[in-house]
Every structure is written in structure tokens, then in C-alpha cells.
Structure 1
Amino acid sequence: MTDLVKRLKSKSNVNDNNAAEKPKSASYETIPTFKRNKTSLRVLSRIVIITSLLIVVYFTSAHDKTKTFAKQSEMLVGKGQMLQCTVDYMNSLVDHGRCFIKECKRYVSDKIITAEEAEGLLEILQKALKEGESAGGASTLDLHSGHLSKGDHFINIYYKPDIKKLFSEEDFQLYANVKEKVRHAVAHHFGVNPALIYPTRPGYFSALTSKDPVTPLDKYWQPQIDYLSHRGNHFSAYLYLNNYNTDFKGGRFIFTDQHLNRTVEPRKGRVLIYTSGPENRNYIERVTSGTRYAINIPFTCNKDFALEEPSLSKNTL
């Protein structure tokens, strides 16, 4: 009997011990579940953070509507972009017979003009600026007419008695040679006979600064369509005489396309050419420091608007 009681007690103790161990076993099994939940939360948090960053980047990029078409740091043999011509612009070319193009475009090259030629042209402009500068932010020199900005008006530099001490025949020849190079580049890239395009107005040197405007002409940052702003202007070209972000800040050339703006950063000797219709609506960003030097060289298909090249013998009295 005593042995039976002992065996029953022993069995009872075993059952009690097993019962006591169950909570421990249950507790042990919950640990991996907790860890899995914690890991899931960590992964979810990272996904939320990454998604948030992607959303910020997306919307920031969506609101950045400016794209660099030609960087100052690049040496470009040639870079172009084809564009859709407007009917009005094409009709303006059809009016002049063989001066007709298949497509509109813009083109940039750093190989048309040499560094020495660009430096020589800059010297011509800087010599002229000693005789006068605009009171506002845009000084211009027109070698064809002799008009030079001075204060809030223009003077005719060819009336200067000692003009031959200011310019030389070599200066005028350099200007003519460079324009001829640009004319042939325009003809080549637009598929036009060079004999059918002529230099036209307004062809001028410019020195742009951050000064506040004094006359309407000083507001050079106003958007324009070249062939609407200047009668007979069918092709436009710019030659840059110094460097963006080194010699001056601001002053980029900006095409205002439908969905974003495309910028050309000036580089010494760089030539920008483009068709002058609405497909190339443009403006010059306001200069914030330094002086931006360039030459505007437009061309026409209408011989009635052609300009004769200037020379010291023709333009001095």
C-alpha cells in the first residue's frame, strides 16, 4: 500500500513538473515570433524612407525645367538638335526661292573659330569700350554703322577724329573673315547655298553686365523670337568671346522650349547657330557679376536686307 502511494505521488510530481514546464515552452516559442515582427517593422520602415526619398527626388526633378544643352567645360566639335519648323517661318524662306531648308535646328561648335580670332575680336570691342559704355547693363558696338553705347544714348565712333588710331584695317579684316566662317557654317548645317545668305542687322558686339537698366535696350533678358523682332532675320549666330562661370556669372543663352528650358553656357570661341523662328524662342540670362562679351551675327535670305562689310576706308570720314 505504501509502495502504491509512493508511486502515485511520484507520478503526480512528474505531471506537476511537466505542467510547470509548459509555460516555459510556450514562452520560448513566442521569442522567434517577436523577432520576426521586429524585423518586419525594420524592413517596412526602410521601405517607407526609401519611397519618401524617391518621391522627393521625382518631384524635385519634375520642377527643374532647365537642361544644359552645351556646358562651358565641354569642348564641342559639334552638337545639334532638330526642331519642328513653324509654317510662318518656312513661308518666309519660300518667299526667297532657293533659300529653303528641310528642318529647323540649333547647333553649337567650338571648332569654327580659333582662340586667336576670338581674342582679336575681344580686343576690338575693348578698344571701343574705352570711348564709351552704356549707363545700363548692355553696351553695344555696331562696326557697320559705327554706333557705340555711351551713357543713355549712342555716339557714332566713326566721327572720332583719330579713329584710325583706334582701329586698323587688320581689325576690320579679322571681323569680315570670322563672319565669313560663320556664314559657311550656317550654310553647311542648314543645307543652304552660302551664296544665298547674307549678313544682316542687327550685327553687333555686346558687353553685358549686372547694372540696372537705364534704357529699354538694357533689358537684354527679355524673351524674343528673332525673325519677329528683326525683319529679314532668318538665321541667327552668336560668337562668345569669354567664359561663363570664369569671367562672369549668369549670362547663359536660354532656349525656352515647350516643356523645359535648354541653356548654352558661353565659352571663348564658341559659336551658336540656330533658325530664327518660334522654334528657337530665346533670351539671355541676366549677368550677376563680371562682363559677358559676345558678337551677334544674323543672316538673311533677302538680299534687300544684306549688309556690306565695314572697312576703315569705307566707314571713316
Structure 2
Amino acid sequence: MKKPSRENRKQTGCSCWGDCTCSEKAKGPEPWYSFRNCVTHISIIIISVLMARFWLHVIYPSSFVALAGKDPLDAPVWHEVPCSNDYEEEVFLECKPKRCGRAVMDNLVSRDDAEHLLRLAKRGLSHGGSNGGASILDLHSGALSMGDKFVNIFKIAETDDSLFTEEDFRIYRRVKDQIRQAVADKFDVPVDKLHLTKPTFFSRMDTKKAQTKHDEYWHVHVDKETYGSFHYTSLLYLTTYKNDFQGGRFVFADKDYNRTVEPRVGRVSFFTSGSENPHFVERLREGVRYAITVSFTCDPAKAIADPKIK
């Protein structure tokens, strides 16, 4: 078959993107060139979309499953995962993880204690707050987010005797000890080998636009890479998903699913801090989310003391 001239192809009025069957509507030679290109373009688009969906699923699985939903748990939840090799070279034989995973408990910390700590967090953070959507209060170092930097909350407390009380720190220590014991029991670690480490802090997340990388809490990360001293990470939630905020679920970014922990007042989750537990916090859409990160190490050289009124 003789290839149609450019002039004849123009006369057909055929447009690849407009109509692949335009030969039925136009007189003249068959627009084989346009039809072939149309099929090629569509095939490329379909293949590109399928490949993009495949790689997005591999990197960030689109399916979310609840490890612990918003409703109260009848019993603690445990999800075991294979340990990474992050701990192989470490010398803390009695303490470093022998098995790995994540646990969620609803009856470890009393609601009264959780609500007391929420009031403490709000009092402290009311004296500062970042320009972006994530603020922290660290009662160990005194660090308080203020704009795009940090200030010392204990300097502020020197002019405000009502900011902190001995009762605040007594409850803080009690809750920390309850979580420490639960972590030790679950991972078969002698409790005296498990040390509080930094950073351990209150966090407040809201919907303000991120101003620095510290405000972008929604990126996947590994605690042992971000904070070298961590062996076990725990969180105590002080507000409740869907009641106090929308979004803000804690997400384990596993290869098959994104497994979520939906915060509720008094809920504790804890997990081994290595690359077997990559995670992120879902971006908030509404409201304010409060929590405490309580971190533990096996290295006594990285231990920090309990906080106290300065």
C-alpha cells in the first residue's frame, strides 16, 4: 500500500488525541500514520500509570489497616516483626532487642494521670510554640519551641511560680516508670538495664503550615537512625483521634500495609527503634494533637535523669 502524502493526511482531518476512528468520518486515504501514533501514545500512558501505581505501592503501600483503632482495647495488641541487623554489633547483650515488634496498651496509664499531663503540656507550651505545625516541650533539657528556635522553659518558670508543681513531676516520673516496666516485660529486658534517654518530650501538632524541616513530621523515618541512642521508643497519647483532631494517626510503614495506631487519651504504644519499624505521623487536617515521646536506651552513657523543678 502506498504511503499517503502529508497533504492527503491533512485532508482527512484526523487528530490522534481527538478521534482514533476518524477514518470512518473523513474521505480520502486511510490515516494509518495517525492511528498508529494514537495507539502508541495511549499504550505509553497506560503503561506509565500502571508502573507509577506499582512503584508507589512498593514504596508507600496505599492500603491502611488499623493495628489499634480508636475504640478501647479489650487486651494489649502485639505485632511482631523480624528484627533488622541494626543491633548486631552492639554489646548490650542483656538489653538489646532479641525480638522486635510493636505493642499498644490502653490500661497501663490511668486517665487521670494522662489528663494531668495534658494540662501540664498545655501550660508549658502556652509560653511558646513554633511558627510551623509541630512544637515540643522537653522537661529534661528545658527546651521549648519558640518561633523558629528554642528557649529554656525553666527561665520562664523563674518568673512564674505556678508554671510547674512537684505534683507535675511526680506524676511524670510515675508514668515514665510504668511505661519502662511495660517495655522491659514485653521485650524480656531487665528493667535496670533500660535507661531513659534523650530526646524525651511533649509534642503538640496542629494544622499550621510547616516552616522548617522539624515541622514536617509526616515523613517516614527510623528512630535509631534519627536519634542514635534509641533502642525502644514509646508514646503516650494525650488526645483522641476524631474527637480532638482529624488525621494525625501514627503509621508503621510496612512493606505490605500501612499499619495505624489511632491515638486516644491514655493509650501507650511502644516498639523497637530500629529499621524494622519505619514510621510517620499522618498529616493533621483539623484540631490539635498532644502526645509524649518517652525514649529508652541500653547504653548507660546515654542515660538522662528524671526531670525536676529547677
Q: Give the match for residue 112 of structure 2.
A: 116
Write out aligned runs for 1:26-45 (5 A): none
Tell me which structure has the larger Cα radius of gyration: 1
**Quick one: which amino acid aligns to residue 74 of structure 1?**
P
CA distance in 1, matches of 2:209, 2:257: 27
Match of residue 98 from structure 2: 102
CA contact (8 A) 1:240 1:293 kept: yes
The Cα RMSD (Å) is 1.5
Residue 283 of structure 1: CA displacement? Answer: 0.4
Out of 283, 297, 307, the residue aligned to residue 294 of structure 2 is: 297
Give the alignment of 1:1-317 within 5 angstroms. Answer: 64-92=62-90, 95-160=91-156, 161-312=158-309, 316=310
* Partners of 1:76 and 1:108 within 8 A in 2: no
Please identify runs of 4+ aligned residues in structure 1 that moved more than 6 A. Answer: none
Distance across 1 between alignment mates of 2:74 and 2:237: 14
Aligned residue for 1:179, secondary structure, equals helix
**TM-fit CA distance, 1:162:** 2.2
Structure 1 residue 64, shift from structure 2 partner: 4.8
The runs of 5 or more residues in structure 2 that have no matched partner are: 1-56
Residue type at the aligned position of 1:66: F
1-side partners of 2:254 and 2:133: how far apart?
26
Matches of 1:189 and 1:232 in 2, distance apart? 20
Structure 1 pair 253/159, CA: closer, same or farther in 2 (3 Å)?
same
CA separation of 1:218/1:64 partners in 2, compared to 1, >3 Å: closer, same or farther? closer
SS in 2 for 1:177: helix
In structure 2, how many angstroms separate the alpha carbons of the residues matched to 1:143 and 1:208?
Answer: 18
Identical pairs, percent = 40
Distance 1:90 1:116 in 2: 41
Alpha-carbon distance between aligned partners in 2 of 1:76 and 1:113, rounded to the nearest angstrom = 15
| Equivalences, count | 251
For each residue in 1:35-73, what CA deviation from the matched residue of structure 2 results, as whole angstroms up to 9, or x when unmatched? xxxxxxxxxxxxxxxxxxxxxxxxxxx985211110012
Give the TM-score of the pair, scaled to structure 2. Answer: 0.78
Task: Compute the TM-score of the two structures, normalised by the length of structure 1.
Answer: 0.77
